[in-house]
Amino acid sequence: MLFEFIPERNKIHSIHKIFSLFGDFKIFIFIFGLAIWAIIPLLGIVFILAYCQINISQNKILGNHKRVFNIFPILLVLFTITTYIASFEPFLDTIVYLDIYSGLHNETGLTIPDIELEPISFILPKYLSTLIGPSQLSFFFLQSLSMNTAFTVFSMLFMPNFYPLIILINVTTQGYYFQLFWMRQIYSWIFIIPAIYVDNFVIACLCIYVGYWTHKSSLMYIFGILPGIFKYKFINALNPLKSFSKYFNNKFGVIICFGLILLFSSVIMKSLLSFTSALSSFDGSVSQKLDTYGGGGDDSSFGDKIKNQIRPILDYTIISIFIFRSDLSKINRIHSKTNRRYIRWITTFFLLFLLYFGSLTYGFNLRITSIFFCIPGFFYIIALSSDKLDDVYS
Q: How far is CA 294 from CA 129, 224, 274, 365, in A?
A: 35, 24, 12, 6
* pTM reported for the whole predicted model: 0.80
Measured CA to CA, the distance from residue 208 to residue 217 in angstroms comes to: 10
pLDDT at residue 148, rounded to an integer: 95
Measured CA to CA, the distance from residue 116 to residue 104 in angstroms comes to: 13
pLDDT at residue 390, rounded to an integer: 44
Q: Exposed, middle or buried: residue 241 (CB in 10 Å: 0-12, 13-18, 19+)?
A: middle
Give the 3-state secondary structure of residue 65.
coil
Classify each residue of 83-99 as buried b or exposed e, where b means 16 or more C-beta atoms within 10 Å of its C-beta: eebbebebeebbeebbe
Task: Return the amino acid letter for 239.
Answer: N
Give the 3-state secondary structure of residue 36.
helix
Q: How far is CA 345 from CA 115, 285, 294, 319, 348, in A?
A: 32, 28, 27, 11, 5
Q: Alpha helices, DSSP H only, in 282-336? A: 284-293, 310-325
pLDDT at residue 136, rounded to an integer: 80
Cβ-contact 319, 349 below 8 angstroms = yes
Cβ-contact 286, 275 below 8 angstroms = no
- Please list the rounded mean pLDDT of every run of 10 residues in the chain (394 residues): 43 81 90 95 94 90 72 94 90 84 68 73 80 80 93 92 93 89 90 88 88 85 74 51 51 61 56 52 51 46 56 83 69 59 84 78 67 88 69 37
Instruction: Tell me the backbone φ, ψ of residue 105, rounded to 5 degrees.
Output: -75, -40
pLDDT at residue 192, rounded to an integer: 92
